[in-house]
Amino acid sequence: MVSFSGANLHAGENPPVLGRVQLPINVRSNPVSVNGSRSSTPATVGNYQAETSETVEPRLIHKWSHTHSILCVLPYAKQELLFCGTQDAKILVFDLQTYGLKTVISTERQDDAASVLCMAMAENEQLLFAAGSDSLVRVYDVTKSEFPCTHVIYSSVDIGDVFSLAYSSSLGTLFLGAQNASILWCDLSPNSASSGSEIKYERLPHVRYDRFFDSKGPGGSSNIPPQTKKSHSCLDSVRLVETKSDDIVRFAHNGFIYVMEVFDCHSPTAPHFVNNYASTYQSVLISGGGDGSIKVWGVTCSPRITLTELQTLENTASILAMTIHESYVYVGLSNSCVNVWDLVTNQLVRSFHFCQNNEPTGDFQEQYPGQCDEILSLQLHNNCIFKASTKSGLVKFTLRSNPAPANSAKDASKDSIVMSLEDELYNSAFNTSSASVLAMGKFSSPSGSSFLVSAGHKGLCLWDITNAGSNPENKSRPTKYTHGYTNSDLLTSLEGFTSFKTISQNPTLYLEDSRACAQFLSKLLVNLGASENKLIPVADGNPIVYACFRANAPSVSTDKVPRVLWYAHYDVVDASSSDDWSTDPFTLTAKDGNLFARGVSDNKGPALAAIYAVAELIQTKQLTCDIVFVLEGEEETGSVGFQEAITENKSIIGDVDWIMLSNSYWMDDEIPCLNYGLRGLINASLSVSSSKPDRHSGVDGGVSREPTMDLVQLLGQLRGPQNKINIDNFYDDCLPLMESEIRTYERIERIAAEKDIPNSDVPSLIAKWREPSLTIHKIEVSGPNNNTVIPQTAKASISLRIVPNQNLETIKKQLVSSLETAFKNLETENKLKIDIFHEAEPWLGDPTNVAYKLLYNKIKENWGPTVPDPLFIREGGSIPSIRFLEKSFSAPAVQVPCGQASDNAHLKNEKLRILNLYKLRAILFDTFKELGDSHSISI
């Protein structure tokens, strides 16, 4: 919202941003096709230029060669070792200090050349797990210089190739993803009951009898190859471990299981999404398969390891690569797409397509017609995606990217992504006849440098990617979450809160920031004592943060406890240095008793004041009512998806007795206020068009009715000569002006005159607060916009401000009917089109109810006798969510402004006086401390 002296404009009334890119953010969805066009120069969105990776190219440090392809790589950063699994059944071990080949580990089946397809490591870097095409998993002791094989794990079931491994150090369990679509696991903990003494070598997959391949041929002779009859002395010192017959999920996917990762739910380094499952499960396993699905499994270990399928996220093609960063899972698909899923809300949030309709594009299409570039490995670093694929090799793209300029309405509807193709020198490191990059690994050195390992056709490269890309937002993001309840803790949290660029109008640029902010809030609320917490997904929007604090005061009755819903929003409007900010808009700056930052007043500061007031009451056991926080991330774009999401989750929120918010301002900088009324809003677009094209006035002027003239006449009929809105029955439901209301306005007029607040006399207050109004915002015409053209089309944008007791649906119908009737009376051959593209209901609170009276008293007590008594005010703007929440929960709403009129919300140098922030917290502390006890009082 924008605050001016004596007038407030609420951002919630803004219509949805027409240029806002529609990302594929769905509550649960398949990917939406994306046009992966590329641009050599960054596009500009709003006042921001796209943030692209720095021009510093990744530096090639070293190259190694091998006789066969390298299929998987695994860096051990602490031990400065690099393990590489090869096509010819070897594990190459390189020293990352000298770049020399330290040793070569050969499998026991060297004669059969069982390829090493995947590897995994223990968290402490003491064990190496390797598996491949012989159905075996070998465990190596990395702490010893010769890297001895200590265990060989196998299954009595024919599982085929092992494509993926994931080891849980906390469970001591290894998970296997197999060719037969099964997930198996093996307990390797010291207390495991597995024993090698009872295992027979004949049961190993490559030795045991196969009814098909080892059956007698036409001559009655056995097909068992002679090498299987050899001595097994090479395995005598190795412990053989057979996976238990019950330790398997058969058909976990409808395809090969190519990728897996496991997370300990109680690890301090675990990503945020595991909090969704931490109360029930010890670990979470993520798997991806050839069926295109990402599956989330809950892992329990009492009395034995079991897997429970929790979520399934569907993609359009096989998943061949996966990496998880924060709470996002990035998957590389066989159709040359990269999809990004939010594992907290289980939504698809980005989809990067490098093929159109499953056909390659650009240079790749020319070189490999009719083929798609399968993505085999993914790594993330500094807002960049490193993509390894079968044909185009290794390419780095900026993760944060812009929509491509649309050339038509059809193009504008596509989710276009502009990406910068960089570092073509990657491909030159490999044989040009086969540019495949099959695997990647990333690690950081003790000095803090970052490195990428890329492996493929007979080649292996080490790259320094320390300066590749940029990650400016993480430099200012909070790294710790306060558990304290002091005002100093409040400021620390506000510093972190305002550092997130939660600009909802530009989701393509700031989607990650907005979702990271939602997770920040979620974790903060839990740390401060919330008993319930959830991120509610919003289709094509940022999630709603929900949290509940339960009443805990000893005085709370065993009967129904009153419940307050506190509404706020964490998104902000755009800001940039070009706006001449005196400080960085996303770095909280304290100066002259004020806090400066984008969103500090609208609405992050007031939201945290309410949160900390409740948190302190919880800590001191003085909370007399349940407090439910609902913080949305799309208020500045017209609350996209808010109503649908709240309606679907009403059972989670529960019954509500009061709705409260602080999304408004004082009339000036000195007198506290309570807001009890807002006007409603109808935004409409009127278009008059001719079947004839743009014409020349010297040739066709006067021949036929002109669209612009028709539109002007139509608009002129919307108002009467006394400035009244000329719509039939429009004023019928307007409430009469009461004597008590006039006295309220007269008091405001007297104070405003003393403070020299403009437009605050009684007639002006009535006109802008409680009377309807109609505004013509702009008129546009088609054609070259010169003085000789008769435009084919003329458009106008209008708005109607309606007042409490006027019915929104009725007024919309009256508006449309009045316009259509007036246009018909023009008897013109032109066509009229009416589009109502945004609306908000009016709201009128009851300033005599318990909550308002309690807030009024607490404002007086906390501000003291030197500050004038609070003013009861109304505003001419609109907040769509207030009336919606009132109707949804059958509860009255109360608004307590926090900021001053000079706060500059939406403008440069947005600020919030520190005193106002602290006072709001104190006022709400006292209010919530008593509201539950006074709930039964009748006024």
pLDDT band at 557 (very low <50, low <70, confident <90, very high): confident
- Residue 405 pLDDT level (bands cut at 50, 70, 90): very low
- Tokens 């994306």 locate to 34
CA distances from 407 to 404, 410, 508 (A): 9, 8, 19
> Is the confidence at residue 225, as pLDDT, over 60?
no
Neighbours of 47 (CB within 10 A): 13
Q: Is 537 helix (H, G, I), strand (E, B) or coil?
A: strand
pLDDT of residue 821: 96
Average pLDDT score over residue span 333-349: 94
Predicted confidence (pLDDT) at residue 54 exceeds the cutoff of 80:
no
- For residues 565 and 652, membership in a common domain is answered with yes
Q: Is the dihedral of CA 351, 354, 355, 361 positive or negative?
A: positive
pLDDT of residue 459: 87
Residues 776 and 922 in one domain: no
Extended strands (E) in 256-383: 257-264, 283-289, 293-300, 306-314, 319-325, 328-333, 337-342, 347-353, 355-356, 359-360, 375-381
Report yes or no on 645 lying in a domain. Answer: yes
Task: Classify residue 788: in a domain, yes or no.
Answer: yes
pLDDT at 159 over 50: yes
Instruction: Look at residues 553, 419, 478 and name the one whose alpha carbon lies nearest to residue 38.
Output: 419
pLDDT at 32: 35
> What does the alpha-carbon distance between residue 320 and residue 322 come to, in Å, rounded to a whole number?
7
Q: Looking at the structure, do residues 520 and 602 belong to the same domain, yes or no?
A: yes
Q: If 0-12 CB within 10 Å is exposed, 13-18 middle and 19+ buried, where does residue 232 land?
A: middle
Supply the pLDDT for residue 151.
Answer: 92
CATH for 806: 3.30.70.360
DSSP 579-619: G--SS-TTS-EEETTEEESTTIIIIIHHHHHHHHHHHHHHH
According to the model, what pLDDT value does residue 703 have? 86
Query: Is the pLDDT assigned to residue 926 strictly greater than 60?
Result: yes
Terminal CA-CA length for the chain: 33
In tens, the pLDDT along 452-499 reads 999 998 889 999 999 887 654 444 455 555 668 999 999 999 999 999
Task: Assess whether 545 and 686 both reside in one domain.
Answer: no
Q: What is the CA radius of gyration of the chain?
A: 33
Neighbours of 331 (CB within 10 A): 29
Q: Between the CA of residue 326 and those of 344, 530, 798, what are the distances in Å?
A: 10, 22, 44
As beta bridge partners, residue 442 has 452
Asked if 155 contacts 167 with a C-beta cutoff of 8 angstroms, the reply is: no
State what percent of residues in the chain have pLDDT above 70: 80
Asked if residue 141 has pLDDT above 50, the reply is yes
**In this structure, is residue 408 part of a structural domain?**
no
Q: Read off the pLDDT of each residue in 542-557 and give the average, rounded to a whole number.
A: 94
Question: Can you read off the two tokens belonging to residue 161?
Answer: 């190739």
Give the domain range for residue 693. 680-735+770-840
- The set of long-range contacts for 917-922, using a CB threshold of 8 Å and a minimum separation of 24, is 917/490, 917/494, 917/595, 917/605, 917/606, 917/609, 918/487, 918/609, 919/862, 919/863, 920/606, 920/609, 920/610, 920/613, 920/662, 920/896, 921/487, 921/490, 921/609, 921/610, 921/612, 921/613, 922/613, 922/862
Identify whether residues 781 and 649 lie together within a single domain.
no
Active-site position among 635, 657, 668, 903: 635
Closest CA to 17 of 841, 837, 873: 837
pLDDT the model gives residue 927: 98
Q: Is the pLDDT of residue 113 over 80?
A: no
Domain boundary among 809, 840, 871: 840
Contacting residues for 273 by C-beta, under 8 A, at least 6 apart? 284, 327, 342, 343, 344
Domain of 608, CATH number, reads: 3.40.630.10
Beta bridge partners of 833: 687
Listed range (398-412, 573-587, 815-829) with the worst mean pLDDT: 398-412
Q: At what angle do helices 487-499 and 605-619 cross, to 10 degrees?
A: 140
Whether 221 has a pLDDT exceeding 70, the answer reads no
Kindly name the residue from 571, 706, 875, 930 that is annotated as catalytic.
571
The average confidence (pLDDT) of the chain is 85
- Tell me the C-alpha distance between 263 and 3, whole Å: 47
Binning pLDDT at 50, 70 and 90, where does residue 418 land? very low
For 510-529, write each residue's pLDDT tens digit. 999 999 999 999 999 999 99
Q: What pLDDT is stored for residue 406 in this prediction?
A: 31
Does residue 687 sit in the same domain as residue 671? no
Residue 58 pLDDT: 82
Per-residue b or e along 277-294, where b marks 16 or more CB atoms closer than 10 Å to that residue's CB? beeebbbbbbbbbbbbbb
Interatomic CA distance for residues 674 and 654, integer angstroms? 27
| 636 and 776 fall within a common domain | no
Strand partners, 121: 128
Mean pLDDT, residues 164-171 = 96
DSSP-derived letter for residue 419 is: B
- For residue 305, pLDDT over 50 is answered with yes
Residue pair 217/167 in contact by the 8 Å Cβ criterion = no
Least confident range from 195-209, 534-548, 891-905: namely 195-209
- Whether residue 720 is contained in a domain is answered as yes
Both tokens of residue 234?
A: 């090479």
Output the six-digit token pair for 534: 């959830």
What pLDDT shows up at residue 885?
98
Asked which of 168-182, 400-414, 647-661 is least confident by mean pLDDT, the reply is 400-414
Tell me whether residue 798 is in a domain.
Answer: yes
CA 460-465-469 angle, to 5 degrees, is 135
User: Any idea which residue has 């529960």 for tokens?
Assistant: 654
pLDDT confidence band for 99 (50 / 70 / 90)? very high
The enclosing H or E element of 850 equals helix 850-863
Same domain, 893 and 822: no
Task: Tell me: do 826 and 848 sit in the same domain.
Answer: no
- Final residue in a domain of this structure, among 792, 817, 840: 840
635 catalytic, yes or no? yes
pLDDT for 233 beyond 80: no
* Listed residues 840, 860, 894: the one ending a domain: 840
Question: CB atoms < 10 A from the CB of 862, how many?
Answer: 19
CB atoms within 10 A of CB 5: 16
Query: What pLDDT, on a 0 to 100 scale, did the predictor assign at position 31?
Result: 35
d(CA 96, CA 612): 49
Distance CA 214, CA 232 (A): 20
Do 4 and 901 touch, CB atoms closer than 8 A? yes
**Is 756 a known active-site residue?**
no
H-helix or E-strand containing 750?
Answer: helix 739-755
- Across the range 326-337, mean pLDDT stands at 94
In this structure, the answer to whether residues 806 and 684 fall within a common structural domain is yes
The pLDDT of 239-268, averaged and rounded, is 95
How many structural domains is the chain composed of? 2
What mean pLDDT comes out for the span 801-810? 96
Q: How far is CA 644 from CA 109, 539, 542, 680, 781, in A?
A: 59, 9, 13, 20, 36
Residues in the chain: 939
Q: Which tokens is 420 given?
A: 């910068």
The model's confidence at residue 308, banded by pLDDT at 50, 70 and 90, is: very high
Burial of 441 (C-beta count, 10 Å sphere; 0-12/13-18/19+) = buried
Cβ(836)–Cβ(660) under 8 Å?
A: no
- Same domain for 517 and 558, yes or no, is yes
What is the rounded CA–CA span in Å between residue 661 and residue 631? Answer: 10
**Please, what's the b/e burial string for 536-562 (b: 16 or more CB within 10 A of its CB; e: otherwise)?**
bbbebbbbbbbbbbbbbbeebeeeebb
Mapped onto helix, strand or coil, the DSSP state of residue 899 is strand
Does the pLDDT at position 401 exceed 60?
A: no
Q: pTM for this structure?
A: 0.84
Q: In this predicted structure, what is the pLDDT of residue 403? A: 31
CA atoms within 13 A on the CB side of 257: 27
Other residues' Cβ atoms within 10 Å of the Cβ of residue 127 = 20
pLDDT of 815-869, one tens digit each?
999 999 999 999 999 999 999 999 999 999 999 999 999 999 999 999 999 999 9
Residue 543 lies in a domain: yes
Q: Do residues 396 and 53 touch, judged by C-beta distance below 8 A?
A: yes
Domain assignment present for 97 = no
Q: pLDDT exceeding 90 applies to what percent of the chain?
A: 68
Is 847 buried (19+), middle (13-18) or exposed (0-12) by CB count in 10 A? buried
Give the least confident one: 68-77, 458-467, 905-914: 458-467
Looking at the structure, do residues 785 and 913 belong to the same domain, yes or no? no
- Report the C-alpha gap between 117 and 165 in whole angstroms: 10
In a domain, 598, yes or no: yes
Residue 21's pLDDT band, with cuts at 50, 70 and 90, is low
Judge whether residue 600 has pLDDT over 50. yes
> Can you tell me whether residue 864 is helix, strand or coil?
coil
